[in-house]
Structure 1
Amino acid sequence: MTSYTLSKASPAKTRADAVVVGVVRTEQGPRLAAGAEDVAAAYGRRLHPLLTALGVTGDEGETRLLPTGDGVTSPLLVLVGLGGEDAERDPAAVRRAAGAAARAATNAATVAVALPAEDAALVTAVVEGWALGGYRFTTYREETRSEDTRAPEVVVLSGAARRADVQQAATDAEVVARAVAATRDWVNTPPVDLTPPAFADAVVAAHKAATKGRGAPTIELTVHDEASLAELGCGGILGVGAGSSAPPRLVELSYAPADAVAHLALVGKGITFDSGGLSIKPGGSMTTMKCDMAGAAAVVQATLAIAELGLPVAVSAFAPMAENMVSGSATRPGDVLRMYGGTTVEVSNTDAEGRLVLADALVRATEREPDVILDVATLTGAMVVALGDRISGVMGSEDVVADVVAAATGAGEAMWPMPLPPEMKERVRSSKVADLAQHDWVRWGGGLFAGAFLREFTDGRPWAHLDIAGPAFHSGGATGHLTPGGTGAAVPTLVAYARHLVAARAGAA
């Protein structure tokens, strides 16, 4: 476990085993970024030719390890590129740089991080970036299970280290980073070990840990098994899970602090593995389908983080969990399912299953009468086609969408507003035998169709749908604070949005 502290110490005089400094790219060549002025002064005129000789450019993510000489007490200097000069004022760039540096500064007992950190937003970026950039999932790697090269002690150097808001920002950043890491752990777990019942058990364990001890928040937890789901009439969750030997679950969390100024409902898609059902996926498309529960993992961990932070926001979270498999009992194209609340849906594509489990949970959420509903799901490949694998699409009530995108920007996540054109309502209501059509096989606008379908279950309440199909899983090598596998996408945004609700209510008071 890494501990984080703040200090006003000089990076040139700290006795840490390694000192991390940023490098920015300028027209005159690379220079050390804000926070490393004392190091630059210690090297003096030797610095620029030294950086040039090392081939340092300041490009984003570039790292170099440099043994120090006279003037710098620490024996090792870790140089990390931030990008252009504007990057040293950009929390997103600082977060990425901290993540890259965390992987470069290994086998040091103490590390002093002298990246730009002169305000709360930059300190948040440093702590989150370092914590997440050094994340590793080694549960299934016997030879590395006991190996951890991360520094147990990280000191964030900041001229504002004694300010109360900066200290609080660092503490809060650790909470968010732990929630993101826990989400990554769940997403990275093989689906054979994270079936719906096992996933529900994992949430129960996380809830127990979060509510244990003096001062811990009170969070109510309910787990609906297959019998309870049948009694409730959750036809979407039961229909999707019908083909699996592992029965579905619906986990509900409720955090209701006495000083709550707003009520937020969170709904997350929890498909623990998606074969496509009878509309089976190509084999190559199944390899990352353990990540199809990333939305449920995100809303659960965001709820626990909001409670740990003590934010005055009531949160009702719903995580429908099912495994979409092929068998003789699987839902067939042409079947009609009755959702919780009574709406009937004609199924035409069993690989469009996420919207079915979300429908049940969304109606459950509306019954709590929240101020806002946000749902999070790895919902459509169409959104990945539209926005790529690093940007989430957001659609729904115009003002809620704008606030979610703003919260995402502040949290360092890329999200983009998407429309819900009027014609989508006609397509969703095109079934000849049921109230709604689950899918219509029209190639164009599939992500928008899915959003319009979900809107039918929101009771007209303020709502936004976050399609994280691209960003939820990183298939490439580590970059910035992203590591291979689950990313924990949407967790920072959900926490930031909860803060927005508090601020908005305070401003309106």
Structure 2
Amino acid sequence: MDAIVIGVHSINGDEAGADGGTLLLATGAESIVAAFDGQLTGTLALLGATGAPSEVTKLATLGTITAPVVVAVGLGPEPTGAAPPPETLRRAAGAAVRALAGAGTVALSLPLPDDEDAPAALRAVSEGALLGAYRFTGYKTKPQPGRRAPVGAVSVHVPDAADATAEAEITRAGVVARAVTLARDWVNTAPNELRPPQFADAVASAGREAGLQVEVLDEDALRDGGYGGILAVGLGSEAPPRLVRLAYTPSAPRTRVALVGKGITFDTGGVSIKPAQGMWEMKSDMAGAAAVAATMLAIAELKPDVAVTAYVPMAENMASGSAYRPGDVVTMRDGKRVEVLNTDAEGRMILGDAIARACEDGCDYLLETSTLTGGQVVALGKRVAGVMGTREMCERVKAAGERVGEAMWPMPLPDDVRKGMDSDVADISQINAGMDRAGHMLQGGVFLREFVADDVAWAHLDIAGPSYHSGEPTGYWSKGGTGVPIRTLLALIDDIESNG
């Protein structure tokens, strides 16, 4: 073992810990306290530890215990009568393991409850550790100074390692982490290496290997099928668009769920071109597609009694002589005619086609996720996704997000926003020109609603902010793709399987 991770709580006011310090060791650290002669918290405080959430402090053990390094990770103030919330544990485990990149084996000894909350806490610690160890290797030709390899192995100390529930939670955490890291890899890949045909091939190959039913529609099949929205967005690129369909069908499904994810592999804005500043992050405009495809791979392993089918439209939105234009009228898969007013509102065009196909095939629930609008970031920031759709489904999405640590917030779909999207020449305009960018996030949701069948419970998750982390690594998030909202989608599948 190369390192052991323990938790520390902060102590407020004039209180003092057992050795007179300002830190309190969390449950799980008892096994190493004696080796430091009661001086562990005092030493950590001298090194600057405060117990603030996810703060990491390293201490060389100099042979006092087997592991050469102890890592103390902050958990905030000690909770009253309970272990820290799962998300606090998830972020702490991620921060600690991330700080130990290059270590061989890391043991996590963080506080776990011994009641009905234990499974959620154990899953959180396991997920946090596995996701915190993630590194995107990138494209550098030479090793960089200070750049370290991912952690070699992670072990989690639990009260009863032989407990079947504990084993199941750790196994599930591994499945989830593999899905999230694959989605992160796709999002972080350079856009010249992941254009629509390559992305479709990668998703189709992974789906077949997982045992899913796979269908790939190329540009000819899209044209024959009337997928006008996907084709219009793809007109400006020499890399043609695709639609990938992945299906998981158990022997006796309880219900049917459709997943839809936006796969714009790069977004220049088209003729309505974006500003140059920050455009490089538009390689992440396929984060919704990456999340949906990776979710399907996890579903193939977890095998719920729910039929789940994913629809992943892919296109590259480029500016060229063949690109679609403001003023164009596009006939969508379901026959609706859309007046294009802004070619940078391309995501809703490809999603409208995919949603229409999902409803044609038949589904009881439809969950769509996309980096749809900058308005989501303006309204809710970089960590909270906006959710629109049927009221009950939005509340279920919010609750699922809370359970797994992915914040979601329901937003309305006002009638006045839809009224402003009436077109003089077509069935609907692509945006509300009268509102300009006011209610920008809501305009996207209102447009997508037009393509959902009346009897389908649905939700649109706008993840423009939380799908890509452009700041310094934090918790179990590295810089780049985050994998949001895979864990929420899997929690929703669990909820639907259990409750319909």
Fold match by TM threshold 0.5: yes
Aligned to 2:133: 134
1:500 aligns with 2:495: yes
Map 1:413-432; keep pairs closer than 5 Å: 413-428=406-421, 430-432=422-424
The equivalent of 2:84 in structure 1 is: 89
78-87 vs 19-28, greater mean Cα deviation:
78-87
Q: Does 1:197 align with 2:197?
A: yes
Q: Which amino acid in the other structure matches residue 31 of structure 1?
A: L
1:250 matches 2:249: no
Q: Tell me the number of residue pairs that the alignment of Structure 1 and Structure 2 aligns.
A: 481
SS at match of 1:279: coil
Offset, 1:51? 2.4
Alignment correspondent of 2:345: 352
Amino acid at match of 1:20: V
Cα separation, 1, equivalents of 2:77 and 2:416? 44
Structure 1: runs of 5+ lacking an equivalent: 1-15, 212-218
Compare 47-56 and 358-367 and name the one that shifted more. 47-56
Residue 171 of structure 2 corresponds to 171
**1:449 is aligned to 2:443:** yes
What is residue 477 of structure 1 aligned with on the other side? 472
Q: CA-to-partner distance for each residue in 1:125-172, whole Å, 9 max, x for gaps? A: 111111111211114122249x86333222100114222112101000
Q: In structure 2, what residue type is equivalent to 1:114?
A: S
Aligned positions of 1:64-103 closer than 5 A: 64-68=57-61, 72-86=65-79, 88-103=83-98
* Residue 421 of structure 1: how far off its partner (Å): 1.5
* Aligned residue type for 1:17: D
Partner of 1:123: 122
- Does the residue aligned with 2:191 lie in a helix, a strand or coil? coil
Aligned to 1:270: 263
State the identity as a percent.
Answer: 51
For structure 2, list consecutive stretches of 5 or more residues without a partner in the other structure: 16-21
Deviation digits for residues 300-357 of structure 1, max 9, x if unmatched?
1101101111111111100000000011111110000000010000000000000000
Q: Quote the Cα distance in structure 1 between the aligned partners of 2:487 and 2:480.
A: 17
Please tell me whether residue 318 in structure 1 is matched to residue 344 in structure 2. Answer: no
For 2:181 and 2:448, the matched residues in 1 are separated by: 28
The aligned counterpart of 2:384 is 391
Cα distance in 2 between the residues matched to 1:184 and 1:149: 17
Measure, in 2, the Cα distance between the counterparts of 1:502 and 1:235: 34
Cα offset for 1:424? 2.2
Q: Distance in 1 between matches of 2:165 and 2:463?
A: 31
CA distance in 1, matches of 2:58, 2:48: 12
Q: Distance in 2 between matches of 1:33 and 1:412?
A: 21
User: Aligned partners of 2:318, 2:210: CA distance in 1, in Å?
Assistant: 33
Q: Is the 8 A contact 1:88 1:94 kept in 2?
A: no
**Distance in 1 between residues matched to 2:278 and 2:331, nearest whole Å:** 29
State the 1:52 CA deviation. Answer: 2.2
8 Å CA contact 1:117, 1:157 repeated in 2: no
Q: Which residue of 2 aligns with 1:38?
A: 31
In structure 1, how many angstroms separate the alpha carbons of the residues matched to 2:57 and 2:223? 59
Paired with 2:486 and 2:460, the residues of 1 have a C-alpha distance of 14
Give the equivalent residue in structure 1 for 2:452. Answer: 458
Mean alpha-carbon deviation: is it higher for 330-339 or for 432-441?
A: 432-441
1:88 CA drift (Å): 4.3
Matched, 1:301 2:294: yes
How big is each residue's C-alpha offset from its partner over 1:236-282, in whole Å with a ceiling of 9 and x where there is no partner? 00000011110000000110011322211000000000000000001
The question of whether the paired residues in 2 share the 8 Å contact of 1:62 and 1:80 is answered with: yes
Give the letter aligned to residue 456 of structure 1: E
Counterpart amino acid of residue 168 in structure 1: A
Q: Which residue is equivalent to 2:18?
A: none
Query: Conserved in 1, the CA contact under 8 Å of 2:93 and 2:128?
Result: yes
Q: Match of 1:364? A: 357
- TM-score, with normalisation over the residues of structure 2? 0.93
Question: 3-state SS of the aligned residue for 1:362?
Answer: helix
Matching residue within 5, 8, 18 for 2:3: 18
Equivalent position SS for 1:74: coil
Displacement of 1:204 after TM fit?
1.8
2:402 aligns with 409
Distance 1:325 1:459 in 2: 31
Find the counterpart in structure 1 of residue 183 from structure 2.
183
Of residues 240-249 and 202-211 in structure 1, the stretch that sits farther from structure 2 once superposed is 202-211
Question: Which residue of the other structure, out of 360, 366, 369, is the alignment partner of 1:373?
Answer: 366
Q: For residues 82-108 of structure 1, give each alpha carbon's deviation from its aligned partner in whole angstroms, at most 9, with x where no partner exists.
A: 223239421111111111111222333
Describe the SS at the equivalent of 1:451.
helix
Match status 1:114 vs 2:109: yes
Tell which deviates more after alignment, 290-299 or 111-120: 111-120
* 1:421-462 deviation digits (Å, cap 9, x = unpaired): 22222123x110000110123231011011011001001211
The TM-score with structure 1 as length reference comes to: 0.91
What secondary structure does 1:142 align onto? coil
- RMSD (Å), alpha carbons: 1.6
Aligned-partner SS, 1:247: coil
Which secondary structure state, in structure 2, belongs to the residue aligned with residue 246 of structure 1?
coil
Q: 1:436 aligns with which of 421, 428, 448?
A: 428
Q: Give, as a single letter, the amino acid of the residue that structure 1 aligns with 2:483.
A: G
SS of 1:283's equivalent? coil
Task: Give the whole-Å Cα distance in 1 for the aligned partners of 2:236 and 2:42.
Answer: 66
Output one character per residue of 1:105-128: Cα deviation in whole Å (capped at 9) or x when no partner: 233322111012342111111111
Rounded Cα–Cα distance in structure 1 between residues aligned with 2:343 and 2:470? 25
In the alignment, the residues of structure 2 paired with residue 277 and residue 479 of structure 1 have an alpha-carbon distance, to the nearest angstrom, of 33
Check whether the contact 1:82–1:88 (CA below 8 A) recurs between aligned residues: no
The structural deviation recorded for 1:71 is 5.9
